A and B are shown apart, each in its own frame.
Chain A
Amino acid sequence: MDPSRSDRILQDWDAVASQARRPVDPPRAVVVRSGLSGTSLAGALVLVAALVFAVVWFGRPVSDDQTGGIVVPPSATPAVTSPPSDSPTAQPTPPPTPSPTPTSQPSPTPRITWCAPADLTARITMWEGAAGSRIAHVELTNTGSKDCTLRTLMKPQLVDGRGSVLIDGPEPRTSAEKAFAPGAVATTLVQASNYCGPAPVAPVSVAFVVAEGRTVATPVSPTDMTLPPCNGAPNSAGSIEMHPWAP
């Protein structure tokens, strides 16, 4: 009997998948995603060096969200990554990165000038549809006249034309920082899911909350009503997350 169409596809799948070649060396310390095709190993090492410098300079670890897939090995252990989700089984989690040992003569901490919302201008360049979600592409510009330090993760919100919060995002537990010169531009993606509330006032936009205040992005249009579809019960909670500001 001839194999069915699904069996033929699976035979082909098996034949092609068997062409995969295992890398010679097992990964341990530095991982460069092949998806970042423009990132050379040298570039990755420069990034690693910059991150190590940032950790030393600010006296605390930098969030993994900024590493773009690069694992920074501390000196004490061969490799430590922040897992993107829970461990698959009840295994002990990796030890936290050791904090700097206090010395009797602490070195002076550099003063950080955080970017104030008044110096930041955000705008949504486009909305992208995804299954059950809407993703805003957002551009942030330092429209102030001074250098400042930007928190790369903020608390995102979906807001309506009156500034009312439609979906409130989580406070970031940690955030890396980046220097943000006047005129500099950073971009991010904000993914919102499951809005089951009442019809909001146009235009819908996103906002970013930090300790210094809130920056509301200019919407795509004055009448924009982009909302993620309701996938739950009426008035069930939605969710919103942001990717770190980059570059």
Chain B
Amino acid sequence: MAESTEFAYERAFEAHWTDVFRFALAWTNDWSEAEDLAQEAFVRLWNHRAGLDWERPVLPWLLVATRRLATDRFRRLRRRLVAFSEPASLDAAVQARWLDVSAAMSGLSPLERAALVMTAVEGTSYEEAAGVLGTTAGALRAAVSRARTKLEAA
């Protein structure tokens, strides 16, 4: 049983790390922070592995965990104590492109960014995205609309 749980965890890591990272990137607009958050979300999944129903999709659990980790107040305080670091895992050309994209997205709130990316890029339904983001589908539509308006005006 322990072996199968471990296997399920590894499968989840392989299947969903990218999804978790992209969600964290949309929420934070910070590459290094997103890498940290993805790592921490999977540590949390590991810690909860014994009590999880692995027959059910684990991605929503991971995304909610990521959002909660990102909004943890002490985490935000800790982040203030560490210097900004460029994403070491990117080559120079991609890094430059990321700086342009992140600057364009910086005028959006975390909710607006995540709502827009989830629905417009990842193809998540409004209902599903609202569940992950802890809001209603109506509020999510309004956030997406605001985000579009801001990006067009930027």
Q: Which residues of A contact B (CB under 8 A)?
A: 4-7, 9-10, 12-17, 19-23, 26-28, 31, 33-37, 65, 68-69, 71, 78-81, 83-89, 91-92, 94, 135, 189, 191, 241, 243, 246
Contacts and interface: CB of A to CB of B under 8 A. Distances in A.
Contacts of B32: 34-35
Nearest to A193: B73
Interface residues of B, number: 65
B43 A27 contact: yes
A22 B22 contact: no
A191 B97 CA distance: 34
Interface of B: 9-10, 13-14, 17-18, 21-22, 25-26, 32-36, 39-40, 42-44, 46-48, 50-52, 60-62, 64-65, 68-69, 71-75, 77-83, 85, 88-90, 94, 97-98, 100-101, 104-105, 116-117, 120-121, 147-148, 151-152, 154
B42 A13 contact: no
A68 B77 CA distance: 12
Most buried by B among A21, A83, A135, A191: A83
A27 B42 contact: yes
**Chain A interface SS verdict (over half):** loop
29 contacts: A5-B154, A6-B152, A9-B104, A10-B116, A10-B120, A13-B105, A17-B22, A20-B18, A20-B21, A28-B43, A28-B46, A33-B36, A33-B82, A34-B35, A34-B36, A34-B88, A35-B33, A35-B78, A37-B82, A37-B83, A83-B44, A87-B48, A88-B64, A94-B47, A189-B80, A191-B73, A243-B77, A243-B78, A243-B81
Given A35-B82, A189-B81, A6 B148 contact: yes
A58 B63 CA distance: 37
A110 B141 CA distance: 60
A94 B68 contact: no
Nearest to B85: A37
